[in-house]
Chains A and B, each alone.
Chain A
């Protein structure tokens, strides 16, 4: 690397270190600065990994949320960029793992569905009715998260922002909602 470029990099890294110190002291504007300086590069990295712009945006938000949760692990004086990129890589790997699990689940679901193709329209109408009944039995907070994620297609970060809860709480609510709904659907119609 040319000396000038290295000097610029050092200056940028020093600025990031200073921002990080202010962020640790509780300044929101410092977080804005860190996001502004690194979001583009982190998004580029995530995009190169997952090749899906919407997903990269989601993962970018998740990365910065994770950065916030683990901000105490930043060692003052050390470069910020490798620290942030390590978190981004971890977020991406965790996402890939959970996506793999979901895909396997969806494949199994699709296999089940293909076996049910012979069912007639009336049966389908009954199914829709059952789903509506089952949804009614899901607690309101879980139902909101479930519908926003699985029907409206919102990300958990967006749901967390909308409902004023943590991202993990949004995930938990949606998951519990699905589980509750599944339990309801398994019951014979008379017991509902």
Chain B
């Protein structure tokens, strides 16, 4: 049996105190549940609900948004798992998670509407697109901060990956609220304003995680 070098033993001894292990990633991700519910409700409540709520029905409006928000939380849980040494996601799982997560809003759009010609009035495309992008990106910020804190408490060995995952999860939660507010189905609007916001929050998460990892000891 190898003996501990005295310098290392002294360093450990100086800092040793009872430590409570982190809860499992799925349990920690649940800390975001109340905030996610608040975000999904707040986005349309602070502006207005999409005009065709009655037409698409409860399942395709609230049900799909709830499903997307839950998927977002599952991806945040995956990010928290990724932040634990020895529990990194495999390359294929990671690829499927990122690709699947990014596709969710578009799949739900396909299931919600049958015509893709509802969009901003001619000339208003940029303004309305920017408004949707801003609302979605800003709504994701509180969840992103909490998720970044939760991940930083662990020890992400691949901060870029962990950050991209929790960014994507938070982007999906915010977009789940946005889809209760915006009824546009024009492909360009959905791709750049809604999808662009999710991608931006994903990139912001990756950046935050990298910065946080460089600041931690």
Seen from chain A, the residues whose Cβ lies within 8 Å of a Cβ on chain B are 24-26, 28, 31-32, 35-37, 39-40, 61, 64-66, 68-76, 78-79, 82-87, 89-90, 157-158, 160-162, 164, 166-168
**Docked CA distance A162–B8 (Å):** 11
* Smallest beta-carbon distance B18→chain A, Å: 4
Whether A24 contacts B21 by the Cβ 8 Å rule is yes
Could you say which residues of chain B place their CB within 8 Å of the CB of A35?
A: 2, 4, 8
Whether A26 contacts B18 by the Cβ 8 Å rule is yes
Identify 10 residue pairs between A and B in the complex whose beta-carbon atoms are under 8 Å apart, listed by A's number. A26-B18, A28-B13, A40-B2, A61-B7, A61-B8, A65-B12, A68-B15, A72-B20, A75-B21, A166-B217
B88 contacts the other chain (CB 8 A): yes
Could you say which residues of chain A place their CB within 8 Å of the CB of B88?
A: 86
Could you say which residues of chain B place their CB within 8 Å of the CB of A31?
A: 4, 9, 12, 16
Could you say which residues of chain A place their CB within 8 Å of the CB of B2?
A: 35-36, 39-40
Whether B11 contacts A161 by the Cβ 8 Å rule is yes
**Docked CA distance A136–B13 (Å):** 34
Seen from chain B, the residues whose Cβ lies within 8 Å of a Cβ on chain A are 1-22, 24, 83-88, 153-155, 157, 217
Whether A68 contacts B84 by the Cβ 8 Å rule is no
Could you say which residues of chain B place their CB within 8 Å of the CB of A76?
A: 21
Could you say which residues of chain A place their CB within 8 Å of the CB of B4?
A: 31-32, 35-36, 39, 64
Whether B21 contacts A72 by the Cβ 8 Å rule is yes
- Our pick among B11, B14, B16, B87 for the contact of A157 (Cβ within 8 Å) is B11
**Docked CA distance A143–B217 (Å):** 22
Could you say which residues of chain B place their CB within 8 Å of the CB of A40?
A: 2
- Our pick among A25, A75, A167, A168 for the contact of B18 (Cβ within 8 Å) is A25
- Our pick among B11, B19, B155, B157 for the contact of A166 (Cβ within 8 Å) is B11
Select from chain B the residue with minimum beta-carbon distance to A87. B85
Whether B8 contacts A65 by the Cβ 8 Å rule is yes
- Our pick among B17, B86, B217 for the contact of A69 (Cβ within 8 Å) is B217
